[in-house]
Structure 1
């Protein structure tokens, strides 16, 4: 490779390194905000879950079956899989591992005779499912790096409506859970029905212990209106908050994965620059040696 070609390639790699470094710093900044949002939501999500559990216990199994959104379908023939991916790439295996887990779960369900309906957030997931000719019942894009309650509400509204209309018999969500900037783990959780979501069991009993246990007198909770109506309002809220929590975890995982990927890319670019610089120096040395040899040969010819 000519010396000019090596120099041009070094300049190209240096420009790429500037871009990856900038993307790494942007992702690091967004990661801190995403971590704060996910942490601040956890107490509220726990409170909604606890309230839903307590209202389910107060309503009793008979009242649970009177509300369409609370009914457990006799047969689970259609399962909705919610895949939470990103709008953008350049984040390592962030998107691919969700798609892999979702398609693997779909194969398991289809092997047992169940039909799968796909719901996906993020352009990457949507394009991947379209490429594989998978039918998508709901696609939601444009917000995956900074989701908010309105985005989760839109998805939850469609899922609850499909469940009430018995278009879906079960709803599962698959997302990247945030552990650290270097580690994201794929998680699968059940949103509906409530029994499978570990809010109530088949007998209508709640499964979440009170926040604090004491030997003193217990507070008497009075429900107005009745617990069944309150529970009917809390269930969509529970689904929405569960989705929002998963979206925020996924957003933090996305920024962490992209920061890690861009850091690795920057390091690799530095290694390539070092290798190319060494090659350019060798080429320059070879050119100088060649010129010296030509001068010496010309001087000898004159003598």
Structure 2
């Protein structure tokens, strides 16, 4: 049985941990509000840019002279997974859920004979994936605090991605991140970045509008300008969603840790009181026994 001193030290240690987790929960709650507002404010623009690009792509005839970001390289053998997580832990299953989705999709593609490479934005995603895959990792990106990243950072990531695609390092790029739903729910999401996905309308679908649209300049010129912008916008959207998801998951994890620490303190306190009472009872019995012997 643990001694009274050991129990007292452990209770003090757990109380100190509880103070830390409670403070971290408050910090995450303060950051969550700003991150959630930024994520929700950016969604309409990102969705609109994506829909405009998809609409234009569906109206353009893909030829050999079309932009590679639209037409691709004519093959889909090498797939690049851009796995966006964070550099920090203590966020529950936030990082592992994103990496788990990427790992499952990678195994599916490998089973089809495809080659999968990884470009990780965040150390935690790379750490999880490295347990399953020993090769195929490009130099990682360590973004630091997700809440401080700007669109310029996202554009830099996008330019690097486009340069690698132009150089023929991969054929298809997929983006993995977590979509923020609520404080308790963050949904791992996969999105194809390169080449752009052209929506296939049902044969029976009726046109939504009879308006005649004229493009100046032509559709291909507009697409050539919009496609790189769309990639940067989608990466920035993923960063904003991840920033909110990270703080929501961290807030939940720290709340659970604080409550668990409280339960442990209660159990240790009961054990301490019982041990102390047993020690007092033993001393009293010894005193009474000694007095009777006299």
One fold, TM greater than 0.5?
yes
Q: What is the Cα deviation at residue 144 of structure 1? A: 5.0
Whether 1:256 aligns to 2:256 is no
Partner of 1:282: 274
Partner of 2:33: 32
Partner of 1:104: 104
**CA–CA distance in 1 between the matches of 2:40 and 2:226?**
22
Contact between 2:62 and 2:71, CA under 8 Å: does it hold in 1?
A: no
Whether 1:184 aligns to 2:186 is yes
Whether 1:240 aligns to 2:232 is yes
**CA–CA distance in 2 between the matches of 1:277 and 1:57?**
68
Partner of 2:10: 9
For residues 3-82 of structure 1, the aligned pairs below 5 Å read 3-56=4-57, 60-61=60-61, 65-82=65-82
Partner of 1:171: 173
- Show structure 1 runs of 4+ deviating over 6 A: none
Q: What is the Cα deviation at residue 138 of structure 1? A: 4.0
**CA–CA distance in 1 between the matches of 2:265 and 2:219?**
67
- TM-score where L is the length of structure 1: 0.86
Partner of 1:293: 285
**CA–CA distance in 1 between the matches of 2:191 and 2:233?**
13
Secondary structure of the 2:179 match is strand
RMSD: 2.4
Q: What is the Cα deviation at residue 163 of structure 1? A: 2.1
**CA–CA distance in 2 between the matches of 1:79 and 1:127?**
20
Secondary structure of the 1:88 match is coil
Consecutive unaligned residues of structure 2, counting only runs of 5 or more, are none
Secondary structure of the 2:73 match is coil
Secondary structure of the 2:143 match is coil
Q: What is the Cα deviation at residue 130 of structure 1? A: 4.5
Distance verdict in 2 for CA 1:114–1:63, change over 3 Å: closer
Contact between 1:64 and 1:70, CA under 8 Å: does it hold in 2?
A: no
Secondary structure of the 2:88 match is coil
Distance verdict in 2 for CA 1:282–1:262, change over 3 Å: same
Contact between 1:120 and 1:139, CA under 8 Å: does it hold in 2?
A: yes
Contact between 2:57 and 2:70, CA under 8 Å: does it hold in 1?
A: no
Number of residue pairs aligned between Structure 1 and Structure 2:
287
Q: What is the Cα deviation at residue 63 of structure 1? A: 6.6
Contact between 2:29 and 2:247, CA under 8 Å: does it hold in 1?
A: yes
Mean Cα deviation higher: 257-266 or 143-152: 143-152
Q: What is the Cα deviation at residue 112 of structure 1? A: 1.0
**CA–CA distance in 2 between the matches of 1:47 and 1:102?**
26
Partner of 1:141: 142
Contact between 2:25 and 2:254, CA under 8 Å: does it hold in 1?
A: yes
Q: Deviations over 1:18-56 (max 9, x none)?
A: 111111111111111111001111122133224324544
Secondary structure of the 2:146 match is coil
Partner of 2:262: 270
Q: What is the Cα deviation at residue 73 of structure 1? A: 2.7
Secondary structure of the 1:185 match is strand
